[in-house]
Amino acid sequence: MVARTTPPPRAAAKEPPRVARAPRVSPGLEIDRALRMFVAARAVLRAVPPTASQHGEAWDEVLQQIEEACLHRPMAKDLGAFVRARVVLEVELDHDLHRRVALPQDLAKRVRRTLRAVDEEVGELRMIAAPGALRPSPRLMAGALILRQPLASMTVSSPFGVRTDPINGFKRFHAGVDLGAAEGVMVYASAPGTVVYAGWQGGYGRHVVVDHGDGIRTHYSHLQDLFVKVGQLVDEREPMAAVGNTGRSTGPHLHFAVTHAAGSFLDPLTLIDVPLQPEPTELAGSEGVPLAMTR
């Protein structure tokens, strides 16, 4: 029995469940647009005295827009925009400090906060693009794919979607579910597949990625011990690791995520025990196109 803090919506009985589309404007496009406006404003402000309030207003606008973009579900194609945001913010802040531009007293602190949010998004997107995960591999077994729960008993401590970050206290998009469990509890493969990553992954600590074919992958983070290696075939419910507290974590738990070939994260709680059958015509070469699934 799975304990859920927020029950996932049920699909209509006669309609197949479909993966949610990305936002109409992706976070990456929002960030690139904000950066273009910021750089254009900065070009105009070169002729303005460094004591003018317009300098701070331009910073307020770009920081607010980037923070808002971090509340949306990221996709793999957004990675470049987040990297560009880090470079532009660091370079422009350094430029203003050297010019002794009159900026709000808390600006440097706010920039650092926004950069932390950007780095967290980069970490999420790196997880999608783990080695071996850039191209969909074929299914190893015929029939619909069914994802099972990765723990013998699941209690959701933090659901998928926008939440208050437990470490910094700011609103952020949570691209998986946190499952509370004691350190050392066994973590199982959610379905048959191939291990494409097993090792350290930044804030996710010890981390395992399993490719189940046709672009569907499951991700297991903050692990204590790993019992699998890259290239290993695993069966459904095969022990792969133990729950831990590694990486950016406030206590023992399993961060469980699901991604698909279009480069987006899916809500794991809506997929467990649901037969999934990707449609190859939509899967191939997808750029934000939803992955169709049928019961």
Residue pair 27/74 in contact (Cβ under 8 Å)? The answer is yes
pLDDT band at 1, cuts 50/70/90? very low
pLDDT at 225: 92
pLDDT at 287: 36
The boundaries of every CATH 2.70.70.10 domain in the chain are 135-283
pLDDT band at 175, cuts 50/70/90? confident
What is the rounded distance in angstroms from the CA atom of residue 260 to the CA atom of residue 290?
A: 9
pLDDT at 130: 52
pLDDT at 277: 60
For residue range 57-82, list pLDDT tens digits in order: 999 999 999 988 888 888 878 888 88
pLDDT at 236: 93
| Two structure tokens written together for 223 | 């692990």
290 versus 79: the higher-pLDDT residue is 79
- Name residue 255's amino acid: H
For residue range 97-125, list pLDDT tens digits in order: 888 888 888 898 899 889 988 888 887 77
214 versus 286: the higher-pLDDT residue is 214
φ/ψ region of 132 (left if φ > 0, alpha if ψ in -120 to 50, else beta) reads left
Q: Is the torsion defined by CA of 278, 179, 114, 63 positive or negative?
A: positive
Select from 63, 41, 175 the least CA-distant residue to 115: 63
pTM, whole model, 2 decimals?
0.65
What is the rounded distance in angstroms from the CA atom of residue 258 to the CA atom of residue 26?
A: 19
Over residues 32-36, the mean pLDDT reads 92
What is the rounded distance in angstroms from the CA atom of residue 122 to the CA atom of residue 267?
A: 19
Of all helices (H) and strands (E), which one includes residue 171?
strand 171-174
Q: Poorest-confidence range of 176-190, 232-246, 255-269, 278-292? A: 278-292
Q: Determine how β-strand 161-164 pairs with β-strand 145-146.
A: unpaired
What CATH fold (topology level) applies to the domain 135-283? Glucose Permease (Domain IIA) (2.70.70)
pLDDT at 2 over 70: no
For residue range 185-244, list pLDDT tens digits in order: 999 999 999 998 899 887 889 999 999 987 889 999 999 999 999 989 999 999 999 999
First to last CA, the chain: 21
pLDDT at 17: 41
